[in-house]
Amino acid sequence: ADYSEEPPRHPSLKVNAKEPFNAEPHRSALLSYITPIDFFYKRNHGPIPVVDDIERYGVSVGGLVKKPIELSIFEIRKLPKYNVVATLQCAGNRRTAMSKTRTVKGVGWDVAAIGNAIWGGAKLADVLELVGISHSSTYSPLGGKHVEFVSIDKCKEENGGPYKASIPIRQATNPEDDVLLAYEMNGETLNRDHGFPLRVIVPGVIGARSVKWLDSINIIEEECQGFFMQKDYKMFPPSVNWDNINWFTRKAQMDFPVQSAICTLEDVDVVKPGKVTIAGYAVSGGGRGIERVDVSVDGGKTWLEAERYQRGNIPYQSDDVHTDKWAWVLFKAVIDIPENAVVVAKAVDTASNVQPDNVEVIWNLRGILNTSWHKVQARRAP
Ligand code: MTE
Ligand code: MO
């Protein structure tokens, strides 16, 4: 693979893998509601493609449709534009902590393989109408049930072929699900790292389904058979290891579970005497909001409810933003802590799902979806 044309990146990013480039910011960069592009995690499976002739770039929409079409970026920009605030989270977020109980396979991540951005683009539901599939369809007129997204990048897992994924047609055609073909991020033209010229954003779902550098959209009968849908990004029980794994026994992971992390403290930290700020993010998948965030300074024996907020620093007129129901909420509590504190955060979503208290119960060999209570140790400086 050729990594000679990678874009420039912010020097403060923590690089977890160089080629393909995988990097996250320091966790403190996640304390603003909208994550700046430079500090938004970057997760790739191959070199960043070069699209230098935007005039010739186009997305084909085909498969089980009566009349396939090819749309230029200019035609996509002419469709109604939506600005959706959505949190993108890699299924591998917090993997490093999971590998501490037992080794897992995959790129290591701290708590920052996640970010919240304003994605601007056309709704996939509107694009699919152009090929005769109406809003809120359970199948296309020709019997398609899934919508596949194929990229122009090349990755070794696909034997040099493109990255791909699919979502059910019902989600793709439901305008309320806000699936976007995004050409803007935080009001700027999408940059190369994040999918220039066009990427998919599937809100509320693990990042792996938000295909970057979109090349084609196919209406298909069965779920996409690509590596990342069939042999990766599945949640296995702790009893499954590399000798007894059977990929076909599990479904492709879509929605992510309720998650939160503390971003004002390191995993092991020394704090000044007095009040300590415990703040971070909380988010749930599938459009479920955050009902509550509890924090503890004694390892989870006693709890206090944190304050929650969204927006605030949004660089947009509020009516320009179509929705922020897919966005994280930030939480904050300012508390006196004991001398040797174990500080914990746990979020509860609107369906009353709660994060599990320890990582052992959700350990899985690929190290995905570590949503266990985020615990950090804070020692008071003398
Ligand atoms: N799309 C393509 N074409 N190639 C990729 O490697 N990685 C996926 C997804 N889309 C990927 C992709 C994964 S696993 C994640 S978590 C997100 O993109 C990361 O998006 P970001 O780099 O914009 O943060
Ligand atoms: Mo990911």
pLDDT 10s digits, 125-141: 999 999 999 999 999 99
Q: How far is CA 215 from CA 58, 76, 154, 160, 175, in A?
A: 7, 13, 12, 15, 22
Verify whether ligand 1 is closer than 6 Å to residue 205 (CB atom): no
Share of the chain above pLDDT 70, in %: 98
Verify whether ligand 1 is closer than 6 Å to residue 42 (CB atom): yes
Share of the chain above pLDDT 90, in %: 95
**What average pLDDT does the structure give for the chain?**
96
Verify whether ligand 1 is closer than 6 Å to residue 182 (CB atom): no
Closest ligand 1 atom to 214 CA? 3
Task: Give residue 199 CA to ligand 1 midpoint distance, Å.
Answer: 9
Please report the pLDDT score of residue 224 as a whole number: 98
Region 256-283 average pLDDT: 96
Note the CATH number of domain 259-380. 2.60.40.650
Q: Rounded to the nearest 5°, which phi and psi values hold at 189?
A: -60, 130
Instruction: Answer yes or no: is pLDDT of 321 > 90.
Output: no
Going by the DSSP 8-state scheme, the letter that residue 127 receives in this structure is: H
Question: CB of 197 within 8 A of CB of 54?
Answer: yes
Instruction: Answer yes or no: is pLDDT of 313 > 60.
Output: no
Please report the pLDDT score of residue 319 as a whole number: 60
> Taking the CB of residue 311, how many other CB atoms lie within 10 A of it?
15
Verify whether ligand 1 is closer than 6 Å to residue 291 (CB atom): no
Please report the pLDDT score of residue 181 as a whole number: 98
Instruction: Answer yes or no: is pLDDT of 76 > 60.
Output: yes
Question: CB of 134 within 8 A of CB of 173?
Answer: yes
Please report the pLDDT score of residue 215 as a whole number: 98
Q: Model confidence over 15-43: pLDDT tens digits? A: 999 999 999 999 999 999 999 999 999 99
Verify whether ligand 1 is closer than 6 Å to residue 185 (CB atom): no
- If you compute the radius of gyration of the chain from its CA atoms, what whole number of angstroms results? 21
Region 278-285 average pLDDT: 98
Verify whether ligand 1 is closer than 6 Å to residue 95 (CB atom): no
- ipTM of this complex prediction, to 2 decimal places: 1.00
Please report the pLDDT score of residue 312 as a whole number: 57
Quickly state the pLDDT bin for 320 (edges 50, 70, 90).
Answer: confident
Region 101-110 average pLDDT: 95
Please report the pLDDT score of residue 187 as a whole number: 93
Q: Model confidence over 164-192: pLDDT tens digits? A: 999 999 999 999 999 999 999 999 999 99
Separation between Cα atoms, residue 98 and residue 368, nearest integer Å: 8
Q: Model confidence over 186-227: pLDDT tens digits? A: 999 999 999 999 999 999 999 999 999 999 999 999 999 999
Going by the DSSP 8-state scheme, the letter that residue 298 receives in this structure is: B
Please report the pLDDT score of residue 316 as a whole number: 54
Task: Give residue 93 CA to ligand 2 midpoint distance, Å.
Answer: 8
Please report the pLDDT score of residue 367 as a whole number: 97
Instruction: Answer yes or no: is pLDDT of 323 > 90.
Output: no
Instruction: Answer yes or no: is pLDDT of 3 > 60.
Output: yes
Which class would CATH give 14-249? alpha beta
Instruction: Answer yes or no: is pLDDT of 272 > 80.
Output: yes
Instruction: Answer yes or no: is pLDDT of 103 > 60.
Output: yes
Instruction: Answer yes or no: is pLDDT of 231 > 90.
Output: yes
Separation between Cα atoms, residue 356 and residue 145, nearest integer Å: 34
Residue with tokens 């174990």: 342
Quickly state the pLDDT bin for 1 (edges 50, 70, 90).
Answer: confident
Residue with tokens 């990042």: 207
Question: CB of 286 within 8 A of CB of 255?
Answer: yes
CA 263, distance to chain mean position in Å, is 17
**Cα angle 372, 38, 276; round to 5:** 45
Host H or E run for residue 122: strand 114-123
DSSP letter for each residue of 176-214: GG--EEEEEETTEEPPTTTTTT-EEE-TTB-GGGS-SSE
Q: Domain residues of the chain, as ranges?
A: 14-249, 259-380
Which residue owns the Cα nearest ligand 1 atom 3?
212
Instruction: Describe the strand order of the beta sheet including 69-72 as a list of residue ranges.
Output: 69-72, 58-63, 214-220, 146-151, 164-168
Please report the pLDDT score of residue 382 as a whole number: 80
Region 58-74 average pLDDT: 97
Task: Give residue 205 CA to ligand 1 midpoint distance, Å.
Answer: 12
Residue with tokens 């994060």: 355
Please report the sign of the dihedral spanned by the C-alpha atoms of residue 80, residue 148, residue 214, residue 235: positive
- What is residue 138's three-state secondary structure? coil
